[in-house]
Amino acid sequence: MTNSKGHIIAIGGGGFGRSPENPIIEKYILDQSGSANPNICFFPTASAENKGYIDNYYKAFSKLDCTPTHISLFKRTPDVKAEIEKSDIIYIGGGNTKSMLAVFEEWGINRLLLEAYKNGKILAGVSAGAICWFTKGITDSWADELKVLDCLDMLPGCCCPHYDGEKDRRPSVIEFINSGKIESCIALEDGAAIHYKDGNLMNAVSFYKGANVYNIYQENGDIREIPMDSIEIY
C-alpha cells in the first residue's frame, strides 16, 4: 500500500450513471477540492467509453461549478499526463474492472494515478472505479461468477460494490472470507460511498436513503457485518 496525501472517494453504485439530473454525490466530490471551479477529468474506460455514459457525466457535472473533461483511450488520445496534472479530480467510471486495469497498465495510467494521489489530488469512482483503488476488489468482470481481482493497492484490503444491488454480491463476499481468499471486505451498497484522506477513513457517505457501508470480517468462526456510521447527504 502507498502512503499519500490525496483523497479517495469510492462509490458503491448510483450517481450520474443512473441519475444525472440529481448530482448529489458529485457535488460532495467537488466540495472536497476547496476550489470554486475545480477541473474534473473522467475516464470512461471500463464501460468501453459508452457514449450514453459520457453524456450523463457531462449532463450531471454541467449543473455544478466545475470544468469537466474526459479522456478517451480508444480514439485519438491526448497527453494523459498533462491532462491529469491540470485536473483537481480524477473520476473513474464503472464497467469491466479487469479490462480497464489492463488498458491502464498499457498506457502507464496506474503510475500517473499514483503520482496524482501523492500530489494531493482527489481520486474518485463508482463500481469498477471504486474497487480499483484497493488491494483487491470483488468484480463481475467475468460472465460466469464473481471473482477476487488484484487492484491498484492504494488502499488496504478488499472492496465490493453493489452490495445490495446484485443478488450474488453478499453470498460471494461471505464465501471469499470463509475460504480465506480475503480476510475482510468493505462492502458498499448502491447510494453509499467511503471517503479516505491521507489513507485514513474520513467518512462513510449515504446519498440514497438507508444506503450503508459495511465492514465485513470473520470473528470466532462467525461472519460479522458491521454498518459504519455515515453522513447523510440525500
CATH of 7-232, one of 3.40.50.880, 3.40.50.150, 3.40.50.2300, 3.40.50.2000: 3.40.50.880
Kindly list the catalytic residues: 127, 162
User: Which DSSP string corresponds to the chain?
Assistant: ----S-EEEEE-S-GGGT-TT--HHHHHHHHTT--SS-EEEEE-GGGTS-HHHHHHHHHHHTTSSSEEEE--SSSS---HHHHHHT-SEEEE--S-HHHHHHHHHHHTHHHHHHHHHHTT-EEEEETHHHHTTEEEEEE--SSS--EEEE---SEEEEEES-TTTSTTHHHHHHHHHHTTS-SEEEEE-TTEEEEEETTEEEEEEE-STT--EEEEEEETTEEEEEEPPEEE--
Model pLDDT, residue 2: 53
Model pLDDT, residue 234: 86
Model pLDDT, residue 5: 81
| Maximum Cα–Cα distance across the chain | 54
Model pLDDT, residue 63: 95
Q: Are 128 and 160 in contact (CB under 8 A)?
A: no
Could you list the pLDDT tens digit for every one of the 234 residues in the chain?
Answer: 555 589 999 999 999 999 999 999 999 999 999 999 999 999 999 999 999 999 999 999 999 999 999 999 999 898 999 999 999 999 999 999 999 999 999 999 999 999 999 999 999 999 999 999 999 999 999 988 999 999 999 999 999 999 999 999 999 999 999 999 999 999 999 999 999 999 999 999 999 999 999 999 999 999 999 999 999 998
